Amino acid sequence: MFLSIPLHTLHTANSASVYYMVPFSEPESQPLRVATWTVGRGLVLNYLNQLFPHKFTKFPHRPHMVVTTDKFPSQNVMEVDDPTQPGGKRVIIQGVMDNMMQLMSRRINLTYSYVRAADRTWGTRLNNGSWTGMLGLLMNEEVDFALGPFAYEWTRYTWMDFSRYVSQISYKIFAARPRPEVDPWGFLLPLSPLVWAALMMALLSVITIMLFLPSCLPTSTRHTARRDTNIFNCVRVLFQEDIRTTTGWWWWERVVLGVWMLMILVLTQSYTGNLMSLLAVRHISNPYEDLRDVIDSGVGIILLEYNVNTPYFRSAKSGVFRELGDLLDTKRVVYNAFSDMPASMNTMVRSGTHIIFDVDGTFSNMMGADFSYTGRCDFYMARSSYLVYQVAIMANKNSPLLPAIDQVADGVVETGLFEKWLRYSQPNSTSCLNTPSVITVTAVLSLSNLWGMFVILGIGILTGFLTFLLEVTWVAAKPVLILCKARPTFASASGNL
């Protein structure tokens, strides 16, 4: 801002004008008059301006800005031939940050063009003090600001300025969803363990009553039925078999057995109905729900190249991040650029040999794209979240553009516009976020469904065969035992003779 006084009034100073020059204006641009002052009227402000205006909220002239961003799952990048552009290529961006740039173009009144970093990365600070990627373009003043978006991080903040945040991200595990599995022991599921235990206790109680109460009756009134008949009648009712009717039973015995039959009838009918439903169930158990599962399993880990968290992993003193830091220079860790993530998802992650550890917004779009193509949810995000960050646009220190960018950023956050852009940047981006762990199918029963029952049958047959061998052995050995017990008697008799 500067003050202008006409030459012919230099000594008397009866009037003056106040002007300011907006940065990024063209060299031939004229400064704008903000106010005038005269002796009679005093200070008079321009109708459209203030004495100390927010200079960079909206440019009166339409300057041209060079900005940088790149491809990621919520954004696509194309390059077309254009001799008027540097390198003969014009960069076309379609996605959330381009929506942000279009809005800023209208709000701030500017034009823009995109450039891409040679290494296609967001950028990090190297040991020699230089910066790579988009941040390198910003530090070398090859661009006016970097769209990114970039996560808030102290090293970056030391050298550059962040705008107000536009979104929030967290790091999650992204892995292949296992195939639905059949539980071979599903025939035990219709009844809880407590019900199975109560059923066995009820069987023992009925058998005890059937055996104990007849012993309390007078000897002359007892029927001659064998005790094993009462025991097996109770067991046969449990397995829905017929029972022998024995004449001379007391009514109380018939009542006990009838109540036992009614209870087993209700229980078995309930069991049958639930079992038919459970045989149609498939279970999907996600193997990796947190970093501890990943590290202990030995699976490969895919990280973003020049990840902002890599220095933190290396410097961690304890815990799961310390263990992850120890793996960074091993073959278990693979580094990918953002543009390589979809290819890695379709190869290494789909095969189950690797997982990706990166921001959740990346995975939502990758899963949405895969669902649009296959119609299936073949991947999942783990429930555990790590390292929550806010992301923003970056500019050089004390950049005059930041106040204007901040106003646009506040607007898209408060109205929910940025989240809406993210949600609609990829069709079906929310289709696989809450996949069930249990599904029902209509399929023919196979051995994979029922092999648990055949195991029980085999164990029963083997037990019966072993019991048969014991009985045969006992019957064969019984005459010998009788003979052995009789020999001392013969010897004693011969001695008396």
What is residue 50's predicted lDDT score, i.e. its pLDDT?
59
- Res. 2 pLDDT band, cuts 50 70 90: very low
What is residue 440's predicted lDDT score, i.e. its pLDDT?
56
What is residue 48's predicted lDDT score, i.e. its pLDDT?
56
Residue 292 lies in a domain: no
| pLDDT (mean) for 284-298 | 82
CA–CA gap between residue 379 and residue 366 (Å, rounded): 9
Residue 40 lies in a domain: yes
> DSSP string spanning 379-410?
EEE-S--EEEEEEEEEEETT-TTHHHHHHHHH
Residue 410 lies in a domain: no
- Res. 443 pLDDT band, cuts 50 70 90: low
What is residue 5's predicted lDDT score, i.e. its pLDDT?
45
| Single pTM value for the model | 0.58
> Of 10, 26, 45, which one is at a domain's C-terminal end?
45
- Res. 126 pLDDT band, cuts 50 70 90: confident
Residue 249 lies in a domain: yes
Select the more confidently predicted residue: 54 or 116.
116
| pLDDT (mean) for 399-419 | 85
**pLDDT over 70 at 202, yes or no:** yes
Select the more confidently predicted residue: 487 or 203.
203
CB 135 within 8 A of CB 122: yes
Reported as a single tens digit per residue, the pLDDT across 336-363 is 877 778 888 888 888 888 888 888 877 7
What is residue 486's predicted lDDT score, i.e. its pLDDT?
60
Reported as a single tens digit per residue, the pLDDT across 163-184 is 888 888 888 888 888 776 666 6
What is residue 7's predicted lDDT score, i.e. its pLDDT?
41
Tokens 């296992």 correspond to: 178
What is residue 118's predicted lDDT score, i.e. its pLDDT?
83
**pLDDT over 60 at 380, yes or no:** yes
Least-confidence region, from 34-48, 161-175, 241-255, 481-495: 481-495
Select the more confidently predicted residue: 267 or 183.
267
> Of 263, 282, 301, which one is at a domain's C-terminal end?
282
For residue 415, the tally of other CB atoms under 10 A from its CB is 10
- Res. 8 pLDDT band, cuts 50 70 90: very low
**pLDDT over 50 at 23, yes or no:** yes
- Res. 1 pLDDT band, cuts 50 70 90: very low
For residue 293, the tally of other CB atoms under 10 A from its CB is 17
What is residue 28's predicted lDDT score, i.e. its pLDDT?
66
What is residue 119's predicted lDDT score, i.e. its pLDDT?
81
What is residue 468's predicted lDDT score, i.e. its pLDDT?
76
CB 321 within 8 A of CB 301: no
What is residue 9's predicted lDDT score, i.e. its pLDDT?
44
Residue 99 lies in a domain: no
| pLDDT (mean) for 10-35 | 66
CA angle (154, 157, 162) in 5-degree steps: 125
Reported as a single tens digit per residue, the pLDDT across 209-237 is 777 766 665 555 555 445 556 677 777 77
Residue 274 lies in a domain: yes
> Of 282, 306, 341, which one is at a domain's C-terminal end?
282
What is residue 490's predicted lDDT score, i.e. its pLDDT?
45
| pLDDT (mean) for 78-89 | 74
Name the average pLDDT for the chain: 76
Residues in the chain: 497
The domain total for the chain is: 3
| pLDDT (mean) for 386-413 | 85
Please enumerate in sequence order all residues whose Cβ is within 8 A of that of 271, keeping only pairs 6 or more positions apart, or say none.
190, 191
Select the more confidently predicted residue: 7 or 377.
377
Residue 114 lies in a domain: no
**pLDDT over 60 at 114, yes or no:** yes
What is residue 492's predicted lDDT score, i.e. its pLDDT?
46
CB 175 within 8 A of CB 380: yes
For residue 333, the tally of other CB atoms under 10 A from its CB is 17
Residue 199 lies in a domain: yes
Least-confidence region, from 67-71, 163-167, 266-270, 478-482: 478-482
What is residue 318's predicted lDDT score, i.e. its pLDDT?
85
* Residue 456 belongs to domain spanning: 449-497
